[in-house]
Every structure is written in C-alpha cells, then in structure tokens.
C-alpha cells in the first residue's frame, strides 16, 4: 500500500468577520478561488482529482446545497471530479484530510483535495435556524456555547487570566513576525474583489497587541470568568485547501511533497470542556504512529481559546518552542470549517521548512471531540 502525502497547501487571506475585507465575499467564491490556486501552484493534473472534500461547520445559506460540488463547478474544474461537504464543526477539514487518506489507502482514488471554508460574516455560528432538541438541551451540555467551555476549562485547570493573555500575546507576536518575514506569502492565494481590489494579506493579526491592552478588555462570556475577546480566536472569514495524494502518484507527477500522513485519530470528551479534546486524540494518534510526544518536532494546535490551548499543552507536555511557530488562531483567525486544512497544511510546510521529522496537528471540536493527525517528513 502506498503512503499518503500532503503535496500542496494554500489558503485564502483570513479576515475578521463582519468588519473585514472578505465580509461581502460569498464563501463558495472564496473556496473556489482557493482551490484553483492550489491546482495552479501544485501543477496537479485536475483530470486526476477524484473528489473535492469541503469542510464546513454551518453548511447552510451560501454554504448550503453541497458547497463542495458547487465549488468544483464554480472553479470550472473537470466535471468528472466529485464533491462532498463534510461537517465535524472545527474539525471538518481535518476530517476531510483523514477521509482522503483513508480512500487512498483503500485504493479508492489517488488524488483528493481536502479543503474547508467558513464565512462567519455571512452564515452565523449556530446557523440561521438553531433548533436544538429541547430534551437534550436540558439534560446535557450538548449545545453549550464555546466561550462557556473556555471558561470551564480555565476553571478546571486553574488558568489565570494573566496566563491566558500571555499565551495570546505570544501568538500575536509570532504571527506578527511571520508576517514581517513574509512567511504567509507562499500559502496565501490572493482574492480579487469585484471592484478590482486584490486581497493578498491577512486582516486578522494584531501585532500591536500589548499586555496592558489585553488586561483592559472586558470579560466576554462570564462576569466572574477570565476569558476575553483577546484570548479567544476571532470570528473569521477564510478558506484553506491541501492536496492529498498517494506517494506514488506524487512521485510519478513530480509534485512538491511536504509530508506524509503517519496516523490519525478522533476522540470524544464531555461537551462542557470540549477544549481538552486534543489531549486524548493526540495520545491516540501518537500511539498509532508508535511514537511519543518527545518525538514530535512541530505542533500545530488550534488556538480556539488560550485556556484550552494551555490545558492541552500542559496535559500533553509539549515544549513551548514547538508550538505554532507562525502563530495560531488567536492571531490568524479561525474560520471554523477551514482551520483543519490550514493547520495540516501549515504543519506539513513547517516540517519541510524547518527540516524536522514529526509534526502533531490537533484541534478541539464543539460538542466535545478532539481530532489529531501525525505527519512525518516525506
């Protein structure tokens, strides 16, 4: 059986929802542009692509109607390519990578695009018609707000506001430096607005953030809590895509392989502390890969909130210098459905850039789940 490799990663610029440059952009248009960029940059023969998998946390409105297939048509890709929208909330597009890897492993195709998109400007979190099961809502925290879970984790792990803010500040600093160095340039596919304006940089990072500024923010979720807008990832518009294919195919077609998929895992946890989802998922993935956390060189941990990031880092015992080298979601943003593809792609590129061996990519998922992927240098 052939290895599964990541042979390309791109993303759209990320912009804050509602007030950012992409607020008026349809998510299907944004995703189509990103995918076209992936095909162009990798040079993959589009005819060979089996399926486009599109992660999306709220697949309704402009993200509805099976957006994956619509994006294939919008991008004018060969009609022979399929399209499937996948939803595992924040883990959607990482699941897309996993699905593609599984399909390749079982010989059900050689080349897949695993992508994700979310316009949090245009389709609200919870969707337009939230209609929870009243009984389940009463007896469990199934529908708990994400901010509340961040507070729960902060309490459970006794994470002070200061510690959370220090983590956020570091994330902003790393992202700021990455912007300075131009590290995002090669991953961003510029988007051209109808008026001709080209959006080719992120609107999300706030490198000007200071400890004093963060300390002055109001509490966002609980008047007795510790989480603020500064220690949470911002609502974001964006999309991301990775090219997943068999190692044989990549070699045959001279594709720029970034990393190979070593192992994957999913786990569940209590919904009210969904933020610790990465802990179990990562342990499972590490064990399946036959390595330990000490073998990991690079970690992409989605920063839904400072509190859950810190809790996971603590539980997993990850050294700070290995985490989110170019900054995380607190600075860059977290377009729900797109984040999984972004951090898988990012971790793969970092392995190559840093010349390292193993990467752990993991995120927490609303409703109480964790997802993880181990990548190995190709």
Sign for the CA dihedral angle at 284, 332, 88, 44 comes to negative
Number of residues in the chain = 378
266: left (phi over 0), alpha (psi -120 to 50) or beta: beta
CA distances from 367 to 58, 130, 132, 288, 370 (A): 14, 15, 12, 24, 10
**Residue 223: Cβ-neighbour burial (10 angstroms; 0-12, 13-18, 19+):** exposed
Nearer to another protein, 21 or 142 (CB): 142
Q: Which CB atom, from 62 or from 202, has the smaller least distance to another protein?
A: 62
Give me the residue label for tokens 């018609």: 129
Task: State the DSSP H helix or E strand holding residue 367, giving kind and residue range, or none if neither.
Answer: none
Q: Which is nearer to another protein, 152 or 209 (CB)?
A: 152
The angle formed by the CA atoms of residues 314, 319 and 324, to the nearest 5 degrees, is: 95
Q: How far is the CB of 146 from another protein (least distance, A)?
A: 10
Q: How many chain residues interact with another protein (CB under 8 A)?
A: 24
Find the part of the chain contacting another protein (CB under 8 A) among 13-21, 106-114, 213-221, 318-326. 213-221
* Binds another protein by CB under 8 A, chosen from 2, 87, 140, 220: 220
Residues 6+ apart with CB under 8 A from 314: 157
Contact range with another protein by CB under 8 A, out of 93-101, 131-139, 155-163, 270-278: 131-139
Q: Is 65 in the site for another protein (CB under 8 A)?
A: no
| Residue closest to 334 by CA, chosen among 9, 7, 14 | 14
The nearest distance, CB 90 to another protein, in angstroms, is 19
DSSP letter assigned to residue 274: G
From CA 263, how far away is CA 368, in angstroms rounded? 21
Beta carbons of 85 and 54 less than 8 angstroms apart? yes
DSSP-derived pairing of the beta strands 358-365 and 369-377: antiparallel
Taking the least distance from each CB to another protein, the nearer of 107 and 130 is 130
Q: Would you say 56 or 301 has its CB closer to another protein?
A: 56
In angstroms, what is the minimal distance from the CB of 24 to another protein?
14
Min dist CB 373 to another protein, Å, is 32
258 — phi, psi (to 5°)? -95, -45
Q: Where are the alpha helices (DSSP H) in 51-145?
A: 67-74, 92-105, 134-139
Backbone angles phi and psi of 26, in degrees to 5: -65, 140
Nearest approach in angstroms of CB 144 to another protein is: 8
Q: Which stretch binds another protein (CB under 8 A): 27-35, 44-52, 92-100, 133-141?
A: 133-141
Residue 134 interacts with another protein (CB under 8 A)?
yes
What binding mask, one character per residue, do residues 135-154 give for another protein by CB under 8 A, x or -? --xx----xxx-xx--x---
Choose the binding region for another protein from 35-43, 92-100, 134-142, 320-328 (rule: CB under 8 A): 134-142
Candidate list 131, 194, 196, 212; residue touching another protein; CB under 8 A = 131
Backbone angles phi, psi at 8, to 5 degrees: 160, 145
Helix (H) or strand (E) holding 59: none
Provide the minimum distance between the beta carbon of 223 and another protein in the complex, in angstroms, as a whole number.
3
DSSP of 317-329: T--GGGB-TT--H
Among residues 134 and 182, whose Cβ is nearest to another protein? 134
Q: Is 58 in the site for another protein (CB under 8 A)?
A: no
* Residues involved in catalysis: 90, 334, 364
**223 scored as a contact of another protein (CB under 8 A):** yes
Query: Is 211 near another protein (CB under 8 A)?
Result: no
Minimum CB distance to another protein smaller for 171 or for 233: 233
**Identified binder of another protein from the candidate list 132, 190, 213, 290, rule CB under 8 A:** 132
d(C-alpha 23, C-alpha 26), whole Å: 8
Closest CB 229 distance from another protein, rounded Å:
12
The answer to the question of residue 319 lying near another protein (CB under 8 A) is no
Q: Which residues bind another protein (CB under 8 A)?
A: 61, 126, 128-134, 137-138, 143-145, 147-148, 151, 219-225
């Amino acid at each position: 059986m052939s290895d599964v490799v990541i042979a390309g990663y791109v993303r759209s610029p990320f912009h804050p929802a509602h007030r950012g440059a992409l607020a008026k952009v349809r998510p299907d248009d944004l995703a189509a542009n990103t995918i076209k960029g992936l095909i162009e940059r990798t040079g993959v023969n589009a005819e060979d692509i089996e399926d486009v998998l599109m992660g999306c946390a709220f697949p309704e409105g402009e993200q509805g109607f099976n957006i994956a297939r619509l994006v294939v048509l919008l991008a004018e890709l060969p009609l022979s390519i399929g399209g499937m929208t996948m939803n595992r909330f924040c883990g959607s597009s990482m699941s897309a990578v996993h699905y593609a890897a599984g399909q390749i492993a079982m010989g059900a195709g050689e080349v897949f695009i695993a992508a994700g998109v979310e316009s949090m400007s245009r389709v609200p979190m919870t969707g337009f018609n939230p209609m929870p099961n009243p009984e389940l809502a009463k007896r469990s925290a199934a529908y708990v707000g994400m901010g509340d879970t961040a507070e729960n984790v902060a309490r459970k792990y006794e994470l002070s506001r200061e510690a959370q803010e220090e983590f956020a500040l570091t994330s902003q600093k790393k992202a700021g430096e990455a912007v300075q160095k131009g590290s995002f340039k090669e991953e961003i596919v510029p988007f051209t607005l109808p008026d001709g304006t080209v959006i080719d940089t992120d609107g999300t990072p706030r490198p000007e953030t200071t400890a004093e500024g963060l300390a002055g923010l109001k509490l966002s979720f609980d008047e007795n809590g510790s989480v603020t807008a500064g220690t949470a990832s911002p609502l974001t518009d964006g999309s991301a895509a990775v090219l997943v294919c068999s190692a044989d195919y990549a070699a045959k077609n001279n594709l720029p392989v970034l990393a190979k998929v070593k192992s994957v895992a999913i786990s569940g946890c209590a919904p009210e502390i969904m933020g610790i989802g990465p802990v179990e998922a990562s342990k499972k993935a590490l064990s399946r890969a036959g390595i330990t956390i000490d073998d990991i060189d690079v970690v992409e941990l989605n920063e839904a909130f400072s509190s859950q990031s810190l809790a996971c880092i603590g539980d997993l015992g990850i050294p700070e210098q290995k985490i989110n080298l170019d900054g995380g979601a607190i600075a860059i943003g977290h377009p729900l459905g797109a984040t999984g593809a972004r951090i898988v792609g990012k971790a793969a590129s970092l392995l190559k850039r840093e010349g390292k061996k193993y990467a752990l990519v993991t995120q927490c998922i609303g409703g109480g789940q964790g997802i993880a992927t181990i990548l190995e240098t190709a």
